[in-house]
């Protein structure tokens, strides 16, 4: 499986093929974002790539990198979620979990988001230069969706790996929130995604990838990758009614 490191190319070329997740094996989708706002990289893409292809609790993790684009991010997510067909027959089951990740450059800890809002207020333009101000993510959609992941338990599992983690109540109002809201709208509205659980995780700059002078975590990318893997395992176990013991560890809460 090839990690799609140039999502903007795939999004801008209608004939470009999006790499396919496993056809028959249970799988987890993890997405990151391409670099934006003048940065040369985005650690959420590095995080997603670090998990790509790993086996966990009977699932294969499939990762992809989304464009930082209000027009293109959700269409690419749709392509990733669309069932594969061969000879007119559906071959790929939907993912068990969808974990979308993004960079929150002003934060110091791994943030498991609880709420996606139906509102876009872009403080800066996206990569193609669009800057929507005061628009709904989905017209006539509900004001907000809650993640249906066990976010507190996942943050506890991440914290048990030595990485500071929190439950956050704000995913902002940029492309990260748009993808989070769009994901939850699809899970609630599309029969093919019934039973899928999804949410969003913001990460800080890892100390080993942060640009000079940037606010960053004391954790490395490897630390954050290990903590995210533990959080995913926690969510998969929660689906079996068997949360790991460390999932109850005390965590921070961001309002």
Which residues are annotated as catalytic?
113, 176, 202
Instruction: Report helix angle 43-51 to 221-239, nearest 10.
Output: 60
Contacts of 73 (CB under 8 A, 6+ apart): 11, 33, 66, 67, 175, 178, 179, 182
| Distance separating alpha carbons of residues 229 and 81, to the nearest angstrom | 21
Point out which residues pair with 165 in neighbouring strands. Answer: 110
- Using DSSP bridges, classify how beta strands 59-66 and 55-56 pair: parallel, antiparallel or unpaired: antiparallel
How far lies 34's CA from each of 51, 140, 177, in Å?
Answer: 16, 29, 15
Q: What's the length of the chain?
A: 255
Is residue 228 within 8 Å of residue 186, measured between CB atoms?
no
Is residue 193 within 8 Å of residue 202, measured between CB atoms?
no
Is residue 104 within 8 Å of residue 202, measured between CB atoms?
yes
| Distance separating alpha carbons of residues 116 and 200, to the nearest angstrom | 9
């Amino acid at each position: 499986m090839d990690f799609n490191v140039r999502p903007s190319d795939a999004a801008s070329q209608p004939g470009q093929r999006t790499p396919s997740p496993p056809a028959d094996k249970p799988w987890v989708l993890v997405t990151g974002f391409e670099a934006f706002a003048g940065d040369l990289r985005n650690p959420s893409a590095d995080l997603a790539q670090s998990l790509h292809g790993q086996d966990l609790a009977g699932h294969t993790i499939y990762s992809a990198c989304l464009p930082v684009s209000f027009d293109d991010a959700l269409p690419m997510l749709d392509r990733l979620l669309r069932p594969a067909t061969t000879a007119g027959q559906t071959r790929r089951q939907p993912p068990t979990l969808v974990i979308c990740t993004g960079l929150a450059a002003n934060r110091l800890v791994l943030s498991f988001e609880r709420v996606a809002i139906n509102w876009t207020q872009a403080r800066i333009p996206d990569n193609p230069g669009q800057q929507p101000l005061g628009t709904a993510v989905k017209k006539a959609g509900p004001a907000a969706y809650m993640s249906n992941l066990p976010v507190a338990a996942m943050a506890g599992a991440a914290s048990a790996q030595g990485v500071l983690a929190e439950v956050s109540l704000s995913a902002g109002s940029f492309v990260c929130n748009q993808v989070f809201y769009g994901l939850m709208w699809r899970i609630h509205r599309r029969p093919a995604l019934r039973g899928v659980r999804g949410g969003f995780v913001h990460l800080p700059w890892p100390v080993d990838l942060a640009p000079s002078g940037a606010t960053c975590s004391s954790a490395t990318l490897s630390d954050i990758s290990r903590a995210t893997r533990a959080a995913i395992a926690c969510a998969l176990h929660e689906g079996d009614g068997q949360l790991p013991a460390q999932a109850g560890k005390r965590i921070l809460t961001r309002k």
